[in-house]
Amino acid sequence: MSQRGFLRWLWRQLTSMKTALILLFLLAIVSIPGSYFPQRGTNPILVDQWIADYPTLGPILDSIGLFDVFGSPWYSAVYILLFISLIGCVVPRLGVHWSAMRSQPPPAPKNLSRLGGNSFEVEGESEAVIADARAILKKQHWRTVVGQDPDGSRWVSAEKGYLRETGNLVFHFSLILILVGVAVGGLFGWRGNVIVREGEGFSNTLTQYDAWGGGRLSSAENLPEFSFTLESFNVEFERGNSQEGAPRLFEATMVVDRPGEEGSTTHLVEVNEPLVIDSAKVFLVGHGYAPHLIVRDSKGQVVLDDAVVFLPQDGNFTSTGVIKVPDSDPQLGFRGLFLPTSAITEELGPHSIFPAPDDVSVFLGAWSGNLGLDSGISQSVYTLNVDDMTQLGLESLRVGQSWQLPEGAGSIELTGFERWASFQIASDPGKELALVASILAIAGLSLSLFIQRRRVWVKVGPVIEQGSSSRDKVGRVKVEVAGIAKASGHDAIEQVDNIVETLKGQGA
């Protein structure tokens, strides 16, 4: 086989419907890791935590792109091949279908009895019977054509159901548009995540994000200008039934400021009800607690007075966090466990039994030494490296209690807690196209499922008997009616029987 012939064969294989279905199934398969593993585009904090929890497996999975599945080269390869395959399947069929819609129905077969048709005799001229048959078919929106065989038999050929193939093509073309919409969003869209505590603000600049990711053709320089303050965050949980602990209220009150606009505006952001600013949407995606701690060094001076974000680990908001105090001498570090509703069991140890702050406490482990912040190696704010530190002890605190650290290293006090909310701010310029394409896909699929492509023929032979009386000179002719349905699982019996009954009634 020549190189040109091999390329032609390869193109035919790639653009076959079988290959398109295989690639579509493969795309679904390679998307599974994106729903199983946390993704950097949606939850970078959880990705970092996952890698920290699995120091051996985590970096390996990260290197092959399982924490950024939808931006990985292997996912893009399947995506692009499916895109090319669908175009190669659909575009040639558009011309074929256009020609079919403009062409006339095919002539009647010579032997309609092979199609399992129905035959009968009626009184009348063949031209009149054919005219009646054509009128009946046109009334039922069939496309018709009249012809005559060499033996003198006249026939009318009818066809309907062209919209079935139209719907099929619209469905497949919509898949291409969906892929285009997803590609546009992936190239030009962006999204970032940020945690904001109550009373604090956020400005839509790159340095304010905890994590930010954009498409290959997006730029952080084009971010819309706005800022907001999280005025309050409200959440209520179900109590006293089988769904105890389920959130019933989940909303953030935000004060938004935009350049060029006088004054601030207040917005209520809830789940599935984001704040829309230009091309960006601000989604409320999570929440948690930030215990407020005061740390004093060995001289009694306050070296930390702030609320520290703790990350929830279960549905009851048992939360973990790290407190780093580089300004003390020696440096101090704490690993903490925050419990909104405290409980201790032998099996689980300290844990929360309800997500609301009914009985707040924090369990702390303290270390002193070198935090390693001056090494030049970046550290996560949610992990504590204790390789060069000495453990001082463990203690639990309730609001208002303090712990005097061993060896005169200082003290730490729990004064209360604040709430925080996490937001995803995203722009997806391809979502409108994807939505329109999805609607078209449903419409096209409905047409292809509920419309049948059918053909019907009515053939009238020469006069076989002439009336003998002077009063009755009308002849009798033989009429054959047959039809086929081009879709498997359907037939044209109902249409054939309807035409037969109507012609018999007119010829009676």
* Domains in the chain, number: 4
Tokens representing 454 are 């059918």
Do 135 and 192 share a structural domain?
A: no
Do 330 and 275 share a structural domain?
A: no
Residue 237 covered by a domain: yes
- Which of 57, 78, 100 is a domain's end point? 100
pLDDT at 18 (0 to 100): 87
Do 93 and 113 share a structural domain?
A: no
Q: Cα–Cα distance between 216 and 71 in angstroms, integer?
A: 10
Q: What is the DSSP letter of 341?
A: B
Residue 179 covered by a domain: no
Do 92 and 154 share a structural domain?
A: no
Q: Cα–Cα distance between 218 and 209 in angstroms, integer?
A: 16
Residues 236-254: tens digit of each pLDDT: 888 877 778 788 888 999 9
Q: Which residues of the chain have pLDDT under 50?
A: 469-471
Alpha helices (H) along 375-458: 431-450
Residues 215-240: tens digit of each pLDDT: 778 888 888 899 999 999 998 888 87
Q: Cα–Cα distance between 322 and 296 in angstroms, integer?
A: 16
Q: Is the Cβ–Cβ distance between 213 and 191 less than 8 Å?
A: yes
Do 293 and 279 share a structural domain?
A: no
Give the range of the structural domain holding residue 255, as residue numbers without chain letter.
188-287+425-439
- Which of 56, 77, 100 is a domain's end point? 100
Do 194 and 221 share a structural domain?
A: yes
Do 273 and 192 share a structural domain?
A: yes
Do 396 and 294 share a structural domain?
A: yes
361-369 sheet: strands from edge to edge: 311-312, 319-325, 331-339, 361-369, 389-398
Do 478 and 395 share a structural domain?
A: no
Do 397 and 353 share a structural domain?
A: yes
pLDDT at 468 (0 to 100): 53
Q: Could you tell me the pTM of the whole model? A: 0.68
Residue 387 covered by a domain: yes
Range list of β-strands (E), 113-261? 118-123, 143-148, 154-160, 190-197, 201-203, 211-214, 227-237, 247-257
Closest CA to 118 of 504, 465, 463: 504
Residue 306 covered by a domain: yes
Q: Cα–Cα distance between 20 and 15 in angstroms, integer?
A: 7
Q: Is the Cβ–Cβ distance between 191 and 426 less than 8 Å?
A: yes
Residue 174 covered by a domain: no
Q: What is the DSSP letter of 330?
A: S
* Burial 197-233, CB ≥16 within 10 A → b, else e: bbeeebebeeebbbbbbbbeebeeeebeebbbbbeeb
Do 205 and 151 share a structural domain?
A: no
Q: What is the DSSP letter of 214?
A: E
Do 210 and 243 share a structural domain?
A: yes
Residue 167 covered by a domain: no
Residue 36 covered by a domain: yes
Residue 146 covered by a domain: yes
Rounded CA Rg of the chain: 37
* CATH code of 152's domain: 3.30.160
